[in-house]
Structure 1
Amino acid sequence: MDLSRRDILKRAGIIGCSLTASPLITPVAFAQAPWDMRLVVIILRGGMDGLDVVRPLGDPAFAALRPDMDNANAQDLDGYFALHPALGDLVPLWRAGQLGFMHAVSTPYRDKRSHFDGQDLLEAGTETLDGRTRDGWLNRLLQQMPGLEAETAYAIGTTQLRVLEGDAPVANWTPKARLGLSPQALRLAELVMERDAPLHAALAEAQMLSQIGTGGARRGSAHLEIADFAAKRLRGPSRIAAFSLGGWDTHRAQGRNLPRSLRALSQTLLGLRDGLGEGIWGKTAVLAMTEFGRTAALNGTRGTDHGTGGVMLFAGGALRGGQVLGQWPGVAEAALYDRRDLMPTADVRGPVGWVLRAATGLDSTTIEQKVFPGLQMGRDPGLLG
């Protein structure tokens, strides 16, 4: 991706809310809706390594790609896939049918593997980034439901996630954070450093290790504060919550760094469940997705680089968990995308579209033409309870 100085400054100012780093900067956004099902969308910024999170131990080629991986404490899921040990606290959700995964998914984004374009396309929900679509797919969903009103705004920061940007009214809230850099300055640093692999890796690790606390809260607890606030709003008239979690850009020392982010994700999901209570959790669908996966093999610094196919996590009592969905392509070299990445076998927008259809009652044609233009939803993948 070639960027002029003007492009960098423009993008840093306009889409500074789309950070790779921290949920402390990205706001939580809410929308009130007349249906009863709750929808939580979590953007996992930085490119989560789905092959490490949901490990295909039954694939004989996987061991050769990750020869030093310690699988002794990985949690067996179905005899073929195993869950990263750092997500062990989520195993009861899996056994209760309230946690599942869809493997080998991606957006239509290919080849350039830029965080910024990848995240923008994920949140726009379109086939390409052509400059004409300025709103996000969740906002376009709300635009199909006339008469909605936004919740009262709870905001320290005022920017929105792109996935909820658009003409439909939404409200914003973000936890109070002590930040050393403004969102624009951090965004600019990420854009400048992305093309320098050592600097990019160092910045990503520094962001993850920063553990910036929130006003009045213990250090590193912003994700818990976000989950608590989201649950409180969803117990009331709000029906949609969207937020991001960072720390997934594991270019080096992935075995040390990835567990931190996975534990935060686990705590967030369990915080949502506990905050919502059994009744509302039973009506909730949580979808966690990332802009792309990572390389199948480790690099020289024991990390992984930007890839293609990845994994989507889904949770909540409204969905049918306890299963790893998707058409598994295998990880033998000949089966990899560009002989380096997990081959995507499904568009991540497809299963999301089926969940939106169930949640709102919108028909498939509206979802394919208005919410996710150009999408063909295909067969129901079986996420719904």
Structure 2
Amino acid sequence: MLQVNTPEQSMIIRTAEQVGEKYGLEYWRQCDQEKRFPAEFWKEVCEAGLCGVALPEEHGGAGFGMVEMALVIEALSMSGGGATVAQLFMLNPIFGGVAISKFGTDEMKSQWLPQLVSGDMQFCMALTEPDAGSNSLSISTVARRDGDGWRLSGNKVWITGVPEAQKMLVVARTTPADQVQRKTDGISLFLIDTDREGLSHTAIDKLGTNTLTSSSVYFDDVPVHASDLVGTLDAGWPQLLEVLNGERIVTTAGLSGTSRLATGLAVDYANDRKVFGNRPIASYQGLQFPLAQAHALNECARLMNLRAAQLCDDNLPYGSEANAAKLIAAQAAAMATERSMQTMGGMGYSKEFHVERLWRDARLFRFAPISEEMVLNFIAQHDLGMARSY
């Protein structure tokens, strides 16, 4: 049975709230305006032990689980960062932490996990490709044998956090698709240095999530060492899924915090704003009902996400719960931010009142890291038993 807010969890949440209070709405507005990585925030998150909340104690982590990580992200997102806070946890405790702690060598664990937990090392992951999109099995980035190692060639797109990262988890095909029995075979994971010869990247100009750069990444015969392999050669697909399923939980936690933050800003504004006499606009049902609807949706998504996180911690299947939670959370965040802007009228369109940033950032997660349509495909096929539609 899921128990939330045990004494340990309450302590973790309060720690996250205390960190978040130091980096409120104005801090994040400035970072967004300057398109600047929130280095001060992330350093303090790591110093407080929150980055490693779900990572092993023997390598500097706190030894808790995904439930605690979700609670931390919610609290930090609510402090002012919104949905983009979740991306910081995707990059490091998920892309770096899960990949290394579950599939890395002992040397990788002892060398890199402590640096990840302390914030001295940043990670990113290169999966998405221009011609593959959601169909990750059709990736064309290849790693060809070269002595004891490989040579990596290909192109990735929409890769988050590359400029700040020292390590990149790269998904590549190590055996051609026409030479494997199953299409999931022949894929491997590598953890390489981002400054390696032949690796280059260019930033993509985009609408939101401006505190983290999104890049096109190019591999031009990049040398990959035997020691860079993460997990099993040619059998990296199920290991990749383990990383990606955790990404769903982290995403939903950030969206849940965003909905709560946006709704709270709207309620505060509506309670103060008086028009047509001396009644606060918060008394109008036309404003109340949409915010209440968004709140109800978000609470459902939050509970489903915590269930997914608990199942993950119990080593039980949680894909259906994680996907459903992400679907609802993204829709709830879209409604909460949109209706918060509407509640504020013209002021909701100004940067001064912050909701426009939350709206811009949350919009990404209607189609990332997995689109609503692909989630619905999953639900139809795996939960309803309907024929595969794609």
TM-score by length of 2: 0.26
Greater Rg by CA: 2
Of structures 1 and 2, the one with the larger relative CO (CA 8 A, separation 6+) is 1
